[in-house]
Each structure stands twice: as C-alpha cells, then as structure tokens.
Amino acid sequence: MPRRRIQVRGVVQGVGFRPAVYRLAHAQGLSGCVWNHAEGVTIEVQGSAVAVSAFEQALQSGIPPPARVQALATQDMDEIPGETGFRILASGAGTEMRPVVPPDLAVCEACAAEMDTLGERRHRYPFTNCTRCGPRYTIIESLPYDRPQTAMKAFPLCPDCAREYRDPTDRRFHAQPVACPACGPRLTLRHADGSARAEGEAALQAASVALRAGAVLALKGLGGYQLLVDATSDEAVRRLRSRKRREDKPLAVMFPDLAHLLQACEASAEETVWLTSPEAPILLLRRSEAGAVVEAVAPGNPLLGAFLPYTPLHRLLLTDVDRPLVCTSGNLSDEPMAFEDEEALGRLGGLADLFLTHDRPILRPVDDSVLRVDGDGPTLLRRARGFAPLAVPLALKGPCVLALGAHQKNTIALLKGGELIMSQHLGDLTSPDGADLLARTVEDLLAFFGARPERLACDLHPDYASTSLAERLAAEWEIPLVRVQHHHAHGAACAAERGLKGPVLALAWDGTGLGIDGTLWGGEALRIEGSTFERVGHLRPFPLPGGEAAVREPRRSACGLLWATRGEAAPPPDLAAAFDGPDWALLQAMLAKGLHSPVTSSIGRLFDAVAALVGLQARRGFEGQAAMALEFAAGERAASPYPWEIKEGIADPTLLVEAVLSDLAAGREAAFVAARFHAALADLALAWARLGGLADVVLSGGCFQNALLTARVRARLSGAGFRVHRHHLFPPNDGSISLGQAAVALLEP
Ligand code: ZN
Ligand code: ZN
Ligand code: FE
C-alpha cells in the first residue's frame, strides 16, 4: 500500500489547516498523520493509490480559506504495516516550531448562515466563530495558541461547544474562541455614564433603534472601540465630527452587505474579492452619484472608504439598522484607539451617547486595515487587522533585527530567519498613550516570536518617541543601534519588499524627515546600495515659516516657497484671501529674520504650496488634504508639464512657480494647474532616474499614496525603459519606515 509524505507551505498554521487535512484524509479512508513544524506542515498518508492521489488533488483545491497552500513537495515512504486512523500530532514533533500568531479573520459564510437560521443554537449570537473565522491576534495572551492563553479563558465550554471542539469532523474542531449563547460572551448596552441599560438581544435592538434615531454609538468591536453613526444623516455625521474634533478628514463607512455598498460606490471584481476576503479591509472606492451616504462623510472627496461587516456583532447591527453607518476608530484625533472598557468609558464618554460593549476582553488594539486597488494591483495604506502579525518571507538573511519605525503612522518590524514580522499600525506617537502602546507592542512581539534582537534600528530624528525607546533598549540589551535616515529607510523598504538585491534609485517623496545635513528632507532621489546611500538629487530647499505648523496650514508652505523663489512680495490674488489681517506680513518678517523657519526639500510641502496658490485648502486641514485636493482636481486630463531647472540634481522650482502664477493670472482654473503640476513631477522623476543611471527605480514615501502621481511617474519612467517598483504589501507612507530601517540595519557590515 503506498505511503506518501507531503510537505506543505503557505498560510497553513493557526487557520484550521490540520483539521481540514484530517477531514480530507478521513473522506478518502486514508491512515497517517499531520503535524506543524518550523517550515510549515507535513502530512503522511497511506492507502490505495487512487485514494492517495485523490487526497493530493483535494489538497490543491479543497482547502477552505483563509488557509492558502503555496508549495507542495511529495516523496514516497515505506509503508507502515497495520497503521489505522489518521492523527493530528502535537506541534513540533521533535523539531523546533516556528511561532505563528494568526491574524483576526472576518466572519465566514458558514457561521453567517448559522446565525441567520432560526432554531440554530447560535441564531443571532454575536460571538459566533469557527476554525475559519473569528478573533485571533486580538485575544491571544501568549503562545501556544490554546484557549487557556486567550481572552476566552474566562468562558468554560458548555457540553455542546465542548463536543464540537473535540469532534474532528466539525468545523469547530480545535477552534479556540468557540462560544455559544450558553457559555460565551454577552452584550451589554450602557449609558454614557457607564450604567447598564439592556443586555443581550435587547441591547442589540436598543442600539439599532438609537442609531436609526441619529445617536453616536461607541461599539466594542474586534480590536478596539469604534464610533458609529448613521451615514445617511447629515446632522448625525456633523455631530460626530464636532465631538471627535475631526473637521474634514474622511470617515469610513460600513455597509450592511455588498448590495448596499454597490449602491454607493463602484467596485471592480478585484476590489470585490478584497471586500469579501477574510481580511475584509476598508477599500478606497469611487463614490457613485446616487448613493445615500451624505457628503459630510468625506467632504469634497470622490473616494469613499467602504467596508463590510467583519464580526458577527457588526453584521447583526448593520442588518438591523439596514443603512450604511460611519464606523471610525474610537479616539480623539491623534490618540490611539481605546480598547479597554474603563478607559473607553472615560475617554469616549463625551463623544458617544451609548456604549454597546461585551465581556470578552480585547488584549491589544488593532485598527481596521485600509487598501486601494489601482491599475497594477493592491496597495495597503494601513496594515493592521487581518494582516498583522503575519510573517512575510523576505530575501534578507542575517542577524535578528528590531526596528522601531517613524513617529507618525508608526509600526515596528522584526526581521528574523528571513522573515519580516510587522506590528499592526500603531499610529501617532505624540501622546503619552501612543508612546506607551509602542513599548507594549515591542514586548508583545518579542515574547510571541521568541526573538532576541542582535541589532536595533531607529530614525535619525532625536525627538521621536521611537528613537528614545530604541536608545533605552540598546543600552539595556547592550546591542548596537543603527540610526537610519528617514528617506533611506523609505527606499530600502520598497527594495526589500520587492526583493531587489542590487543598487536601486529611490524616489523618496513625502512630508518631511530629518536629513543627514540637519535640514528637513522630503523630495529625494537616493542611490541605495547595501546599507549605504548617496543623495543623487533633491528639491532646492525652501523655508517653512513656523516649521511643523505648516503641516496643517498649507498657506505657510506657499509663503515660504514664494519667499525662496521670488523674494519679498505681496501674496498673489488667489492666495491673498488666505491671509487676512497681519498674517502675511508676520510670516514674511519671520522669513526675513530666519526665525523658526526650517528649510525643506519636501515634495509633500511643495504640493501644499501649489494647492494654496491655486486657492485649494490654504488655511487648515489634515495632513495630506491639500495634496489630495490637487490630485482630485487634476483628474485624468492630459497636460503639458511645468518647467524645472535642474542643476547637478538640484531641482529649482522657480520656473514652475512663475508658470503657475502666470496660468492663474491668465484665469486658468485649479484643475488645469493641478494636471500640469503632476506632469511636472513625472518629468522630475525621469530627470532624476536618468541621473541615477540604474535600471531599477523604487517609489516610496507618503506622496505615492497619490494614485495619480504614482501612475504618471510609473508611465513616464517605464516609457523610458526603467523598471519601476512600488509598494503593495506594505504602505508607501511612514508605516513602512520600520521595514526599511530593519533592512538597512541587517545589511550593515
Ligand atoms: Zn466561521
Ligand atoms: Zn457553548
Ligand atoms: Fe516619510
């Protein structure tokens, strides 16, 4: 009787793969065993030749997601006479097991169907899950991933759940978070003062009635508290905005189902696959005219962040309310999301009218992921739920490195044994809570993956909370600390993600990061090789009166750019409206004296300046808002580029500024200027690529969140024969800085 050993790699641990293998082997009447180990999963099967080959076929096609089989290698083995039954062996089976912390997964179809069926014991139960779906990373205390080491330890299994858990033919076989109304977590609806108002089904129904009446609901979701409000009510959305102190920044909208979503947005086949995937990220989709979602959700924005319910609780609530709901993380701007009950009541008490909570603790905050799909595939803009902390194989071998990332959109990265483990998006580190979250996440990841870093990496900036922590840890652990320049890290991140070994030219365009000369960089062309870089080109620096204040006030960038290119002058007509009273004179005086006016080569700030010059977004806003306004204004129109003067790699924007002003004086509209500006940046990219003289060009930095800019630059460069690479799996923004730092530190001799 033939016996075969099959080595399987891919997403095969912590996703119900072994039970699925058990069921396939059982169906074919095969004996044998399956076990997890450092390299993946190994299976041995024994039986008739027909059954073995049917099993092998089923392994390729019959494994349910989220498991994904990527590589199979098989070999013939000697028969084990008299073997009966198929067994799941303990993890490791003699070899060292590579730790796997599974990510959280959206509710599967089987669980959804069960919840919808009257008479099922999990009918309308908001914590239904199985081996294919449910909470993972957000409820795991420590490894191995077993119920006593999860937030479910306080919920002993009832006899019915215990039977499912032990039955290898059940889809809840070894599902650690398994629960039902008899034994699992329960809902409570609370008033803003914390007092209980309703429990269970009544809590759910009262919450949906309140949402329909325009209330702001704080919902204890999967990875933290969220704020929900009726997305079809202008008044309700404005109430949420004013309480959350978030004026214009787009809010994400959750739809009851795909049909509702498609009434409000357009989604391609690829986008639909993502929307309904186990990762279930927020997708940036084009809004359609007819949708009922009010403009105030994303003012002036042709895109909408849209997603589908990913927990049973969201699903029940959205179905009951039967209309799209704004679903945004529960925090004040720039603070981390609240995820502990007491803390949430305290912090969100003034924001929410009601709290829909439950008694399953959330062990770590995990935000929703954000993804965009364009011409050449997906771009993750925020990597969190569904993706973190899955290890990604990278062609980088060397010592174990821990990198602590940037200051905003922070993530941390652990490089170990040729794999990259990136934390979930941690966000802004400015608040004490943000810095605290960073320190806890470091402990968390190291413990989970049993890692002892041999090197640490951080940004050059001395004032980042991530830098201070890296300095402290390097001293404590007595290991070297590698300080990596911000844009070097951007370029190295993209090269590492795309597996590029040789030298690359990196176009690293973003807001700002500290350069090696002490000025603020952000419009850089860097030749990167190994752990070193050379600055091939950059924007000619211009001053930012008020420094950081310019991030939220694009008019300051415009004022500084005009000062650098034309000297002291009155504001041009389209900009004058943004300067009432003595503001213009004050900023000019600051510039003249060089007071608090750091210089920058940032293309992000150049975007801000041009947006302000054409009268878009001059006064205030969220970071990137002005650039987005220019992107959306430009649309798809073709336009001739503005001119540059480039000497020895330094791009002087004087001609560009003059041309913008003369277009405006000639009555040209913002859209026309915006299109010419994007074309000019594509020209600049090509000029720098030629100067770099390398075949491979990587695009990284926050500016490449702009889909139009990315498309224009790619087209221009590939048209001239360059191979252009951009981020797909990791964000182009500062979310990837930790990856770049880790790659540079690893390559350091
Ligand atoms: Zn399920
Ligand atoms: Zn139960
Ligand atoms: Fe950056």
Query: Rounded to the nearest whole angstrom, what is the distance from the C-alpha of residue 182 to the centroid of ligand 1?
Result: 18
What are the structure tokens assigned to 587, written together?
Answer: 């900023």
Class of residue 680 by CB neighbours under 10 A (exposed 0-12, middle 13-18, buried 19+): buried
Q: Is the pLDDT of residue 142 over 90?
A: no
Question: Which segments of the chain belong to CATH 3.90.870.10?
Answer: 187-358
For residues 30 and 21, what is the distance between their CA atoms, to the nearest angstrom?
11
What are the structure tokens assigned to 426, written together?
Answer: 């941690």
Beta strand 455-459 with 481-484 is parallel
Q: Which pLDDT belongs to residue 246?
A: 83
Query: Rounded to the nearest whole angstrom, what is the distance from the C-alpha of residue 704 to the centroid of ligand 3?
Result: 10
Query: Rounded to the nearest whole angstrom, what is the distance from the C-alpha of residue 410 to the centroid of ligand 3?
Result: 10
Q: Is the peptide bond before 66 cis (omega within 30 degrees of 0)?
A: yes
Q: Is the peptide bond before 144 cis (omega within 30 degrees of 0)?
A: yes
Query: Rounded to the nearest whole angstrom, what is the distance from the C-alpha of residue 661 to the centroid of ligand 3?
Result: 29
- CA-nearest of 15, 47, 11 to 28 is 47
Least confident of 202-206, 374-378, 647-651, 665-669: 374-378
Residues with CB under 5 A from ligand 3 (ion): 510, 734
SS3 729: coil
Query: Rounded to the nearest whole angstrom, what is the distance from the C-alpha of residue 113 to the centroid of ligand 1?
Result: 9
Query: Rounded to the nearest whole angstrom, what is the distance from the C-alpha of residue 160 to the centroid of ligand 2?
Result: 6
pLDDT in tens, 465-479: 999 999 999 999 999
Query: Rounded to the nearest whole angstrom, what is the distance from the C-alpha of residue 105 to the centroid of ligand 1?
Result: 9
Higher pLDDT, 636 or 159: 159
CATH 3.90.870.10 fits 187-358, yes or no: yes
Q: Which pLDDT belongs to residue 93?
A: 45
Query: Rounded to the nearest whole angstrom, what is the distance from the C-alpha of residue 510 to the centroid of ligand 3?
Result: 5
Query: Rounded to the nearest whole angstrom, what is the distance from the C-alpha of residue 556 to the centroid of ligand 3?
Result: 20
Strands (E), 179-224: 187-191, 196-199, 217-220
Q: Which ligand is nearest to the CA of 491?
A: 3
Q: Which pLDDT belongs to residue 94?
A: 40
| pLDDT, averaged across the chain | 93
The secondary structure of 62-103 as a DSSP string is -PPTT-EEEEEEEEEE---TT--SEEEPPTTTTSPPPP--PP
Least confident of 57-66, 289-298, 337-346, 508-517: 57-66
Share of residues in the chain with pLDDT > 90 (%)? 76
For residues 109 and 101, what is the distance between their CA atoms, to the nearest angstrom?
23
Matching CATH number, 539-677, of 1.10.357.160, 3.30.470.10, 2.40.40.20, 3.40.30.10: 1.10.357.160
Q: Which ligand is nearest to the CA of 156?
A: 2
Query: Rounded to the nearest whole angstrom, what is the distance from the C-alpha of residue 165 to the centroid of ligand 2?
Result: 10
Question: Which segments of the chain belong to CATH 3.30.70.100?
Answer: 3-88
Tell how far CA 427 is from the center of its chain. 10
The secondary structure of 409-422 as a DSSP string is SB--EEEETTEEEE
The secondary structure of 513-555 as a DSSP string is EE-TTSSEEEEEEEEEETTEEEEEEEEPPEE-TTGGGGGT-HH
Cβ atoms of 484 and 745 within 8 Å: the answer is yes
Question: Which segments of the chain belong to CATH 1.10.357.160?
Answer: 539-677
Query: Rounded to the nearest whole angstrom, what is the distance from the C-alpha of residue 521 to the centroid of ligand 3?
Result: 9
Cβ atoms of 487 and 508 within 8 Å: the answer is yes
SS3 144: coil
Query: Rounded to the nearest whole angstrom, what is the distance from the C-alpha of residue 716 to the centroid of ligand 3?
Result: 23
Mean pLDDT of 143-158: 92
Query: Rounded to the nearest whole angstrom, what is the distance from the C-alpha of residue 461 to the centroid of ligand 3?
Result: 12
For residues 238 and 246, what is the distance between their CA atoms, to the nearest angstrom?
10
Q: Which pLDDT belongs to residue 730?
A: 97
pLDDT in tens, 480-499: 999 999 999 999 999 999 99
Query: Rounded to the nearest whole angstrom, what is the distance from the C-alpha of residue 701 to the centroid of ligand 3?
Result: 5
Residue 96 pLDDT class (50, 70, 90 cuts): very low
Query: Rounded to the nearest whole angstrom, what is the distance from the C-alpha of residue 178 to the centroid of ligand 2?
Result: 7
Q: Which ligand is nearest to the CA of 175?
A: 1
| Angle between helical axes of 17-27 and 49-61 (0-180°, round to 10) | 150
pLDDT in tens, 161-220: 999 999 988 999 889 999 999 999 999 999 999 999 999 999 999 999 999 999 999 999
Q: Which ligand is nearest to the CA of 170?
A: 1
CATH architecture for the domain at 371-487? 2-Layer Sandwich (3.30)
Query: Rounded to the nearest whole angstrom, what is the distance from the C-alpha of residue 117 to the centroid of ligand 1?
Result: 14
For residues 535 and 511, what is the distance between their CA atoms, to the nearest angstrom?
17
Q: Which ligand is nearest to the CA of 732?
A: 3
Q: Which pLDDT belongs to residue 59?
A: 86
Higher pLDDT, 318 or 2: 318
Instruction: Find where tokens 């989709």 sit.
Output: 285
Q: Which pLDDT belongs to residue 145?
A: 83
Q: What is the largest CA-CA distance in the chain?
A: 94
SS3 388: coil
Q: Is the pLDDT of residue 98 over 70?
A: no
Integer angstrom CA distances of residue 252 from 103, 293, 305, 656, 739:
21, 11, 5, 36, 27
Share of residues in the chain with pLDDT > 70 (%)? 98
Q: Is the pLDDT of residue 27 over 60?
A: yes
pLDDT in tens, 700-745: 999 999 999 999 999 999 999 999 999 999 999 999 999 999 999 9
For residues 66 and 79, what is the distance between their CA atoms, to the nearest angstrom?
33
Q: What is the pTM (predicted TM-score) of this model?
A: 0.90
Query: Rounded to the nearest whole angstrom, what is the distance from the C-alpha of residue 698 to the centroid of ligand 3?
Result: 14
Query: Rounded to the nearest whole angstrom, what is the distance from the C-alpha of residue 125 to the centroid of ligand 2?
Result: 11
Beta strand 650-652 with 532-539 is parallel
Q: Which ligand is nearest to the CA of 106?
A: 1
Q: Is the pLDDT of residue 71 over 80?
A: no
Residue 91 pLDDT class (50, 70, 90 cuts): low
Q: Is the pLDDT of residue 289 over 90?
A: no
Query: Rounded to the nearest whole angstrom, what is the distance from the C-alpha of residue 312 to the centroid of ligand 1?
Result: 10
Question: Which segments of the chain belong to CATH 3.30.420.360?
Answer: 371-487
Q: Which ligand is nearest to the CA of 406?
A: 3
Query: Rounded to the nearest whole angstrom, what is the distance from the C-alpha of residue 158 to the centroid of ligand 2?
Result: 4
**What is the fold, at CATH topology level, of the domain defined by 3-88?**
Alpha-Beta Plaits (3.30.70)
Q: Which ligand is nearest to the CA of 733?
A: 3
Query: Rounded to the nearest whole angstrom, what is the distance from the C-alpha of residue 29 to the centroid of ligand 1?
Result: 26
Query: Rounded to the nearest whole angstrom, what is the distance from the C-alpha of residue 83 to the centroid of ligand 2?
Result: 35
Q: Which ligand is nearest to the CA of 511?
A: 3
Q: Which ligand is nearest to the CA of 459?
A: 3
CB proximity list for 292: less than 8 A, separation 6 or greater: 231, 232, 263, 264, 323, 324
CB proximity list for 707: less than 8 A, separation 6 or greater: 372, 374, 631
Q: Which pLDDT belongs to residue 92?
A: 54
Cβ atoms of 741 and 457 within 8 Å: the answer is yes
For 284, the enclosing helix (H) or strand (E) is strand 282-287
Q: Which ligand is nearest to the CA of 508?
A: 3
Query: Rounded to the nearest whole angstrom, what is the distance from the C-alpha of residue 128 to the centroid of ligand 2?
Result: 10
pLDDT in tens, 657-708: 999 999 999 999 999 999 999 999 999 999 999 999 999 999 999 999 999 9
Q: Is the pLDDT of residue 95 over 50?
A: no
Higher pLDDT, 93 or 101: 101
Q: Is the pLDDT of residue 160 over 90?
A: yes
